[in-house]
Amino acid sequence: MILPARDSELVQIVDASLAETARRAGEWLACRPGCTQCCYGAFAINQLDVERLRSGMEALRIAQPERAAEVERRAQEWIDEFGSEFPGDLGTGLLGDADAERERFEEFANDAPCPALDPATGLCDLYQARPMTCRVFGPPVQTDAGDGSCALGHCELCFVGASPEEVAACEMPVPNEFEESLVEELEREGMHGETVVAFALLKAPTL
């Protein structure tokens, strides 16, 4: 594992930010155990997310080997089902960075459940090791509007009926620069590119 030592600090900061945001949001925030709105559809993860997930898988294999094997089975099934359309290198699991490949990714596996999702419980089997995208999905956060500007976005199930002012009052601060510094640390170790969760969960390294 090459997980940077300060990743635990990043996780603590984000989790504390989420807890404070949830306190302010109250019932506006619909996120609850068993809600799987954010568990469907492929999304890109960086190498920091990959290493965190792999560290989580190592721990799961030791503590609950049967559950870990089930996660790996779902990950392999995911790749078997969607691999032929994967907009990148199927051998390494890395997403392509050409414009055409990025456009294809926009429509790729949009309805597919995450392999880490336990379909029986609606819970994440790797919740403590989940990617940053998962940790900030739900509350209002600043996101790329697509035109070089940022906009405040949140899960469609949250803040239903809230005014723009009520949404803005519950914005969740995200330490993007801190995360970027840790990604750059991995890049200096030769780890580059983005992938999807399924590739990060398999026992045999592909990245």
Per-residue pLDDT of the chain (207 residues; tens, 9 = 90+): 689 999 999 999 999 999 999 999 999 999 999 999 999 999 999 999 999 999 999 999 999 999 999 999 999 999 999 999 999 999 999 999 999 999 999 999 999 999 999 999 999 999 999 999 999 999 999 987 667 677 899 999 999 999 999 999 999 999 999 999 999 999 999 999 999 999 999 965 555
Domain residue ranges of the chain, discontinuous segments joined by +: 7-201
Q: What pLDDT score was predicted for residue 148? A: 67
Looking at residue 189, its pLDDT comes to 92
5-9-14-16 Cα dihedral, nearest 10 degrees: 150
pTM for this predicted structure: 0.92
